[in-house]
Amino acid sequence: MQLYNQRDWLSRASVLLGTALVALSLAGCAGAGSTSAAQPVTAVTSDALPSWRDGTAKQAIMTFVGGVTREGSPSFVAPAERIAVFDNDGTLWSEQPLYFQFLFMLDQVKAAAPSHPEWKSNPAFKALVAHDYPALASHEKELLQLVAVANSGMTVDEYDKTIRDWLATARHPKFKRPYTGLVYQPQLELLAYLRANGFKTFIVSGGTIEFMRPWTEKVYGIPPEQVIGSSQVVRYELRDGQPTLTRLPKIDFVDDGPGKPVGIYRNIGRKPILAFGNSDGDLQMLQYTASGSGPHLALLVHHDDAAREFAYDRQSKIGKLDKAWDEAVADGWTVVSMKDDWQTIYPGSKP
C-alpha cells in the first residue's frame, strides 16, 4: 500500500475545478449485465462509452472487446474466461490527497488514542498527530499496526457500521463531497460495457475488503463476492450462543504488488484477460495478465489532469517513479490519459 501520493498535494489541490458534483447519476452503470456472448459490439459502442474521447485508448478497448466476443474468430474467448480485474484507488476513484481508506483509518486511530497512552512514543502516531504525511509514509507498517489494534475486538458487523457511518458523513477535504462521489464516470461506463459483453468484473485492490464492500455493488455494479482486497484476521466464535466474527489485531493478507496475482489466484482461480491499474501496486497484476497465452489487454491510468483531478504523473510514492510506467511503454500496454482520453471525470461533473 502506498500511503502518500504527492508531497505538495495541498498546492496542487488548490487548482482543482471547483464545480459542484451533483448527486451520483449512475443509471445504466450498475446493471446486472447479460452474460450472453458474441453481441455485435458495434451496436452498443457508440452509447456505451460516451465519456471516453475517440483515440487510441478507446479504440484499443473496443477492438479487444469486439475480438473476444466474435464467435468463430481466433480472438474469441469463452464467456466463462472473460475475467476483468480493476485496481480501485487511482483506477476507479481518486486517491488524493491520501488513499480515502487511510483518511478513514486515521480518524479511527485518533478515536482510539485515549485508550492507548503507549502510542505517544510511537513514530507513526506522532506523525499522524502532527499531520506530517511524509513521516507517516515512512512508517507505513507501524501505522497499519496501530490501525489493526484500533479496530480489533470489534465484530465484523460493528466494524461495517463504523465504515458506513464514516462514508455517509465524511467529505473530501477539497471537493467537500462524499468520497463515493469521486469515482470515475468513464470507468463506470467501461465496467457496464464489459459486463454487457459477457465479462465478469472484479476489484483487486490494496484496500481492505471491508472498506469497499458496503458500496461497490451500488456504485460500480460489483458485488461483494467479486471484491478482492487486503484483510485482517477474523475469528469465528459463539457469543451468548450467537455466531460472531471478531476482528483480531493481525494482518491476514496484503493484496498489493506481488500480492495481487496471489489474490487473483486464491479468489478467482483463472488468469484475467483484462487488467486495469495505475501504479506500481498494480505492476504484477498487469504483468500476470499480460502473460496470458490468449488475447489480453493491460491498461494504465495516467494521472495527468491537474485541472480536473490531479497531475502526479508516474510518481505515486514519495521520491520514487513507478516502474509500471516503464513496463507499460516497453510492453505496449495501453496508457489512458485522464486529460486526453476522458471527456468527463466524475459522474455529473462538467466535461
Residues that bind its own copies (CB under 8 A): 32, 35, 80, 83, 156, 200, 209, 213, 217, 223-227, 231, 234-238, 242-243, 245, 252, 258-259, 261-262, 265-270, 284, 287-288, 291
The 10 Å Cβ neighbour count of residue 161 is 13
Tell me the one-letter amino acid at 312.
Y
**CA distances (Å), origin 343, targets 55, 150, 185:** 11, 41, 9
Q: How far is the CB of 91 from its own copies (least distance, A)?
A: 19
Closest distance between its own copies and the C-beta of residue 304, in Å?
28
How many other CB atoms are there within 10 angstroms of residue 123's CB atom? 14
Q: How far is the CB of 152 from its own copies (least distance, A)?
A: 15
Q: How far is the CB of 226 from its own copies (least distance, A)?
A: 8
Per the CB < 8 A criterion, the answer to whether 281 and 87 are in contact is yes
Cell matching residue 177: 463531497
Question: Residue 157 Cβ, how far from its own copies at the closest point, in Å?
Answer: 10
- Among candidates 302, 299, 329, 327, which has minimal Cα distance to 316? 302
Which of residues 210 and 341 has its CB atom nearest to its own copies in the complex? 210
Query: Which is nearer to its own copies, 13 or 268 (by Cβ)?
Result: 268
Q: How far is the CB of 85 from its own copies (least distance, A)?
A: 11
Closer residue to its own copies in complex, CB, 181/261:
261
Burial class (CB in 10 A: 0-12, 13-18, 19+), 37: middle
Of the pair 21, 234, the CB lying nearest its own copies is at 234
Nearer to its own copies, 49 or 212 (CB): 212
Under a CB-based contact definition with an 8 Å cutoff, are residues 5 and 98 in contact?
yes
In the complex, what is the shortest distance from the CB of residue 200 to its own copies, in angstroms, rounded to a whole number?
7
According to DSSP, the β-strands at 297-304 and 311-313 are antiparallel
- 174 by Cβ neighbours in 10 Å (0-12 / 13-18 / 19+) ranks as middle
Residue with Cβ nearer its own copies (186 or 272): 272
Measured distance CA(172)–CA(153) in Å, rounded: 29
Q: How many CB atoms lie within 10 A of CB 252?
A: 15
CA angle (334 as vertex; 331, 337 as ends), nearest 5: 130
Residue whose CB is less far from its own copies, 31 or 173? 31
Closest CB 178 distance from its own copies, rounded Å? 21
244 touches 160 (CB < 8 A)? no
Nearer to its own copies, 34 or 343 (CB): 34
Distances (CA, A) of 96 to 90, 134, 306: 8, 14, 12
